[in-house]
Amino acid sequence: MKKRPLDIAVISDVHLGTYGCHADELLTYLNSIAPKKLILNGDIVDIWQFSKRYFPKSHLKIIKKIINMASKGTEVIYITGNHDELLRRFSDTKMGNFSIVDKLILDLNGQKAWFFHGDVFDLSIQNAKWLARLGGYGYDFLILMNRMVNWCLDKMGKEKYSLSSKIKQSVKSAVKYIQNFEETAASLAIENGYDYVVCGHIHQTKKEIIDTPKGRTTYLNSGDWVESLTALEFHFNRWKVYHYQNDKLVPFFSSEPEDDIDIIPLFPDYLKKGFL
């Protein structure tokens, strides 16, 4: 089945290695596209919560798929995030079509696009990493509970419910944090003359033109593959937000062998040395 050609596809906050990750759905999406560039905008592998006890085959297939895409000509750019910050020791490393960076600036038909994960704005991460990591475990537990609730709702024929989204929308401090994040990213982009600023981190998909007295920029956020199951796509000189639940037409399946995959050869040497 023919894949959709794209100039750029952006995904972030996949959190491979956690219970909340929707790896099967992401594999379906990756099998449906043929991007010239695939930008992984942080928190792809959740190294903070990494455990060899839980890294299912479906999660390994995502890593294998990304490697295969790079080997077949797609330029894969891995932008580091907070949950995979250990990869920052390899920043500016390039291996064939695969590279690791902390931020990225692209020229898109004469317009400048600035890509970064967004955790640089998060003081809880910069100043109290232990607290941020504890929050990450709590979020993963909430997502696991949510799956159980939604399984029951599905059996009852009722609409699924997002506990974390409800909490974010009802807690004023969470709403304020998201607004501040978006405004800060947009303001910095305008000050530096960027036409687009593309983030992840806050798990809130968005595409919005932001005007200030100093100028204009388009703020974009790729969301996540824990709850929203979204991506950003750039093609024909325009950006589109892809929603897996709404935009999938027919399922795509991997045509690659389903052999067992060993985690060690797919990860850097620090896995072998016991860093995680």
Q: Where are the domains of the chain?
A: 4-271
pLDDT of residue 253: 45
Its pTM stands at: 0.77
Query: What distance in Å separates the CA atoms of residue 217 and residue 231, rounded to the nearest whole number?
Result: 19
Pairing of β 98-101 and β 104-108 = unpaired
pLDDT of residue 2: 83
Residues of the chain with pLDDT under 50: 123-136, 163, 167, 170-172, 250-255, 257-276
Would you say 200 and 41 are in contact if contact means Cβ atoms under 8 Å apart?
A: yes
pLDDT of residue 132: 42
User: What stretches of 129-214 adopt beta strand conformation (E)?
Assistant: 196-199, 206-212
Name 158's Cβ contacts closer than 8 Å, sequence gap at least 6. Answer: none
pLDDT of residue 40: 98
CATH number of 4-271: 3.60.21.10
pLDDT of residue 254: 43
pLDDT of residue 276: 38
pLDDT of residue 107: 98
pLDDT of residue 112: 98
pLDDT of residue 180: 86
Query: What distance in Å separates the CA atoms of residue 148 and residue 259, rounded to the nearest whole number?
Result: 30
pLDDT of residue 4: 95
